[in-house]
Amino acid sequence: MNDKKRAFLATVLTVFAFVTLIAGCGSSEPGPGDPGWIDSERLLNADNELENWMSLGRDFQQQHYSPADLINTDNVHDLGLAWEYDARTPRGRVNRGLEAIPIVVDGIMYTSGAWSIVYALDARTGEEVWTYDPQVDGSFARAECCDIVNRGVQVWKGRVYVATFDGYLVALDARSGLVLWRVDTLTDRTRGYSITGAPQIAGNIVVIGNSGADFGVRGYITAYDLTTGAEEWRFFMVPGDPDNGYEHPEMEMAAETWDPDSDWESGGGGTAWGQFAYDPHLNLLYIGTGNSTPYPIWFRSPSGGDNLFLASVLAINPDTGALVWYYQTTPGEIWDYTVTQNLVLADLEIDGSSRQVLMVAPKNGFLYVLDRETGELLTADNFVRVTWATHIDLDSGRPVLTEQGNYEDEPKWVFPWDIGAHSWQQMSYSPDTELVYIPATDAGMLYTSYDEYSFKPGEWNVGIYYLADSLKSDLLIARDPVTQEEIWSVKLSGVGNGGVLSTGGNLVFQGNANGNFVAHRADTGEILHQIPTGTGIMAAPITYVIDGEQYVAVMAGFGGALLDYFVEENAAATYENYGRILAFKLNGTDVPLPPKRIIPPITEPPVRSTTVESIEDGGQLYGKYCAVCHGGIGGERMSLFPSLIRMASNTHGLFNQILLEGLYEPNGMANWSDILTAEDAGAIHDYLVSEQESAWRAQENLN
């Protein structure tokens, strides 16, 4: 046999062996010692495995804290880059945000990115082990309020669970990334549902919720068998039309808090898209629910009512799907004050007794501490400026409302704004300092109600105008959850700063929208070290130890609700905003900065035969359907979506194909032919050509 034949045979045998291995991985059941093997015993003993980060919040308490202290206040100034992985958006021109929290087990990092892609990486080097692309349906980009993001996976007993933006829950083999099962979680694919949140393991089930309340959907969570993907139960967050009956007893109870003649067609909202928690000792699954559809209760439930279970924390028995207790933070919710922020479990001493508590800092500006066994409210106070309520009555558990919060008859400036005093970016609790660390925003908004409202399929169905918001100030706040005393706060630059990690090294880590990765002293807030990355960071960091060396890692990439509206201080205004996974260690190197952002010049637009009426009509249509992403009427703003007054000649030629035929739908620019006619598209095009003509002439005159 000659050398060429030997080489060919060796190649064939190698490929055959690899395919056989992968096939075996896909067909045999994983067991202890296999990649991705996390079980209850390991998770309950997470403090004994500092080399791992085994849940979104590290352990079952979801505190976003690690006892690891090899990196500490004495040496954190030596922290630098260990490795970087390129996780840029694979589809279209828009680099989407990265919001996931990685999971690390036995040297492998599992995480997710834009378009629900899953990555398995070597946690020491960042080398790729495998990736999984679920090929999300691009038409679902129409159903995103806040970017095509994914907030993480769960890893359990050799499987990686991920929910896709277009509504599927998928179980992957942790060894290979091969699909083990895939189920459709959506009850109605004609509505504006999507999924951006991570699943939650609770006993023998995996649970997933959904997003889409701003478009008019009815929120729910669904539980599936971990091994087979078979549906076990479903829990709706708000009732449907009582004339159609109730899916489970809790809906009959909830319906009593709604007007019988509510606007059932709008769905009601209440979607659960945040970070859940599960207490294996109490066998309770904790869910935070979302905002209303539409926001104004005078359209949604005209006679008023608490409108359960909007803006609530629910404790559910995962074996049966039955409600054990609930606490509603914002009865009759009208401000988009979701409770989809991360839920943190801890044991605190309150009034001389040890209490098992759940802590949450929702959008509404109050930090709540609840008994997680009973739902009893223990403490609550505002952590930023709040004008919709004066305080929380600890006896009734209800907010004491102000007239300033009621915008039914006239516009009102209300604090916090709709993005919230605390959005989805994770807060942390350190049992060392006994403080919570909240990434907060002090901002208000002019809430202005529609005069009339009716549900419109495929459109935003919030019932308010977005006319103005106040100056915004992001803060990192350290607060005692028992006394509700603020211990320290640090003002941050930019808007949309990242989630938080606290560690046993007396450190708090946070990535910022301005592209810095920052280490604070946990007890005082003093900034000890800043690492410029050139990439805005929204996600919370994690930490893990390999062979005696501690790493701190974070998903970097700006986006989310501010993808289309950010400020000059944000790194995305200066640098290309592509996704990266960054891992740091002591004595690491500098982080390479991305290339500078280049804004293309405005070119001379094509000549079109237009009328004043067509341009005016097009401007109104553009403002209603396009400006939310592409920029405001009469100019531009900081947006990572393409500016349509900078269209090239070939884009003008394809305008109707893009808008009405879905030419760019795979890239996230969906088809609008269900709402817009050819005449509408022509009017929008006339308006954009007129705007581009004016902007081009101004540019040429300036030059």
State pLDDT tens for residues 633-674: 555 567 788 889 889 999 999 999 999 999 999 999 989 999
Task: pLDDT band for 12, please (50, 70, 90 cuts).
Answer: very low
Four-CA torsion 388, 393, 394, 395, nearest 10 degrees: -150
> What pLDDT is stored for residue 702 in this prediction?
76
Transcribe 447-479 into DSSP letters: EEE-SS----TTS----EEEEEE---EEEEEEE
The set of residues, in sequence order, having a beta carbon less than 8 Å from that of 611 and lying 6+ positions away, is: 686
Q: Which tens digits make up the pLDDT trace of 585-639? A: 999 999 999 999 988 888 999 998 889 999 999 999 998 888 888 876 555 567 7
Q: Which tens digits make up the pLDDT trace of 224-282? A: 999 999 999 999 999 999 999 999 999 999 999 999 999 999 999 999 999 999 999 99
> What pLDDT is stored for residue 27 in this prediction?
53
- For residues 146 and 420, give the distance between their C-alpha atoms in angstroms, rounded to a whole number: 14
The one catalytic residue among 147, 173, 263, 336: 336
> What pLDDT is stored for residue 544 in this prediction?
98
* Residue 389 exposure: Cα atoms within 13 Å on the Cβ side: 24
> What pLDDT is stored for residue 569 in this prediction?
84
- 336 as an active site residue: the answer is yes
> What pLDDT is stored for residue 7 in this prediction?
38
Q: 10 Å Cβ neighbour count for 342?
A: 28
User: pTM (2 decimals)?
Assistant: 0.94
Whether the CB-CB separation of 608 and 681 falls below 8 Å is answered with no
Whether the CB-CB separation of 35 and 106 falls below 8 Å is answered with yes
- Report phi then psi at 612, rounded to 5: -60, -40
Whether the CB-CB separation of 695 and 626 falls below 8 Å is answered with no
Q: Which tens digits make up the pLDDT trace of 547-589? A: 999 999 999 999 988 877 777 888 998 999 999 999 999 999 9
Which whole-number Å values give the CA distances from 325 to 271, 516, 569, in the listed order?
A: 18, 41, 43
Which whole-number Å values give the CA distances from 95 to 131, 143, 230, 474, 630, in the listed order?
A: 18, 18, 35, 23, 14
- For residues 492 and 133, give the distance between their C-alpha atoms in angstroms, rounded to a whole number: 35
Transcribe 522-573 into DSSP letters: TTT--EEEEEE-SS---SPPEEEEETTEEEEEEEE---GGGTTS--TTSGGG
* Residue 633 exposure: Cα atoms within 13 Å on the Cβ side: 14
The set of residues, in sequence order, having a beta carbon less than 8 Å from that of 542 and lying 6+ positions away, is: 53, 58, 66, 101, 102, 104, 501, 552, 553, 554
> What pLDDT is stored for residue 15 in this prediction?
32
Helix and strand element counts for the chain (H, E):
9, 40
> What pLDDT is stored for residue 494 in this prediction?
81
- For residues 589 and 552, give the distance between their C-alpha atoms in angstroms, rounded to a whole number: 14
Q: Does 17 score more than 80 pLDDT? A: no
3-state secondary structure of 118: strand
Tokens linked to 608: 């079109």
> What pLDDT is stored for residue 241 in this prediction?
97
> What pLDDT is stored for residue 636 in this prediction?
57
3-state secondary structure of 153: coil
Domains and CATH numbers, the chain: 61-99+424-439+473-598 (2.40.128.630), 238-271+276-401 (no CATH), 612-702 (1.10.760.10)
- For residues 258 and 238, give the distance between their C-alpha atoms in angstroms, rounded to a whole number: 9
Q: Does 703 score more than 90 pLDDT? A: no
Q: How far is CA 479 from the centre of its chain?
A: 24
